[in-house]
């Protein structure tokens, strides 16, 4: 199958858009989790970092610990990395 240049550009733009949307969903779910609201990412079928969305018994109630864990894992990242 041969693509024209315009079709290739459109395909690349669609792929970049999906990647960008994934990053936004991941960031939103992570921020909700840090705030204490565990939501399973249904679109990408991903759990929260502590699996509290699917296994509430594993849920750590200590908000400070969740914030520290999130910051430790994502501190080097900037908001631009998620947009």
CA 29 – CA 35 distance, rounded (Å): 10
Q: Can you tell me the mean pLDDT for 13-21?
A: 72
Per-residue pLDDT reduced to its tens digit, 24-81: 888 888 888 888 888 888 888 898 888 888 887 665 556 677 777 878 877 765 566 6
pTM for this entry? 0.50
Q: What is the pLDDT of residues 68-81, one digit of tens each?
A: 787 887 776 556 66
- pLDDT for 63 equals 63
All structural domains of the chain with their residue ranges: 10-82
What is the dihedral sign for C-alpha 70, 71, 73, 75?
A: positive
Two structure tokens written together for 18:
């999906």
pLDDT at residue 71, as a whole number: 80
């Amino acid at each position: 199958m041969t693509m024209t240049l315009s079709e290739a550009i459109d395909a690349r733009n669609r792929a970049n858009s999906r990647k960008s949307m994934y990053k936004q969903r991941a960031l939103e779910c992570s921020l909700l989790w840090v705030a204490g609201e565990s939501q399973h990412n249904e679109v990408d079928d991903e759990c929260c970092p502590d699996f509290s969305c699917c296994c509430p018994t594993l849920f750590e109630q200590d908000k400070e610990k969740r914030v520290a864990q999130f910051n430790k894992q994502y501190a080097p990242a900037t908001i631009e990395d998620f947009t």
